[in-house]
Structure formats: structure tokens, C-alpha cells
Amino acid sequence: MKRILLLPLGIALPFAATASTSTRAAERFDGIWRNPEGSVHVRAEPCGPNMCGVVIWANEQARADAAKGGGVQLVGSTLFRDFRPDKREGWRGKVYVPDIDKTFSGTINLKDADHLEGRGCLIGRFLCKSQIWQRIAGK
């Protein structure tokens, strides 16, 4: 059975925020996050005016799944791309799923200082999957 690593950032909505809102949100979102299985760690950091998430660690199974699915070197891959604050106080961007070598729209909503919900959708806001990620370092 192929596992999809739908990663940390529950994602959804159009960009419409001020620079100060963007800065506050970025400060809350920076850091290192782990997926629910603890198999992938992603560092969330600014990339230009937006936020991105780069894999900094993955267990052997996650690395093997990524290599099989898309021939990707998982560690060092940017899984979350161009996340921007949206109107609903979350983040919206693109989520790359290396297991199947596909990119989807996604949203991230902070639940509290140490938990975020990542959501990726196949089409618009339909056929979605969510995960709760936990902060493991940085703030």
C-alpha cells in the first residue's frame, strides 16, 4: 500500500493580508514541524515574501517511498511552496507530495503555538486530506 505524505500544511484561500499581518503570521509559523507519524521533519521559513517548508529529516521508509514514487531525494525537497497569508488567518500555497510526484493546492491553519493543521486538496476544496503537525523546534 502506498502512503501519501500529505505534509504539514493544511492549506486554503486567496491572498489578502497586510505586510504587518504577514510578518506576524510568519513569526508564528517559523520553525521545525513533524508530521503525525514522526517520519518527516520540515523547516518552515521565509522564501521571499512568502513561506516555504523544506524537508530537513526523514526516516528510511519515507525516503524510500519518495524515491519510489517520484524518484525524489526527500531530504532537501521543498514540500510547501509559496504559502501566503489568506483572508481567514491561515496560509495558502502549494504542497508537493513526493510519493506520487504531484503538487496540490493546500492550506495551513495554526491551531495553537505548537500545532498546525495542514490540508491538501485535489480539486479546489474537494477531495481533501488534513493532518495535524506538531512543532518540534523554533518559534
Domains along the chain with CATH numbers = 19-137 (2.40.128.520)
Q: Rounded mean pLDDT of 72-95? A: 90
Look at residue 83 and tell me whether its pLDDT is greater than 70: yes
pLDDT score at 139: 53
Q: Are 120 and 24 in contact (CB under 8 A)?
A: no
Look at residue 4 and tell me whether its pLDDT is greater than 60: no
What is the total residue count of the chain?
Answer: 139
Q: Rounded mean pLDDT of 22-46? A: 81
Segment 11-27, tens digit of pLDDT: 222 222 323 344 444 44
More confident residue, 139 or 14: 139
Segment 96-138, tens digit of pLDDT: 989 889 899 999 998 998 999 998 887 766 788 899 999 997 5
SS (H, E, C) 15-84: ECCCHHHHHHHHHHHCEEEECCCCCEEEEEEEECCEEEEEEEEECHHHHHHHHHHHCCCCCCCEEEEEEE
pLDDT category at 94 given cuts 50, 70, 90 is very high
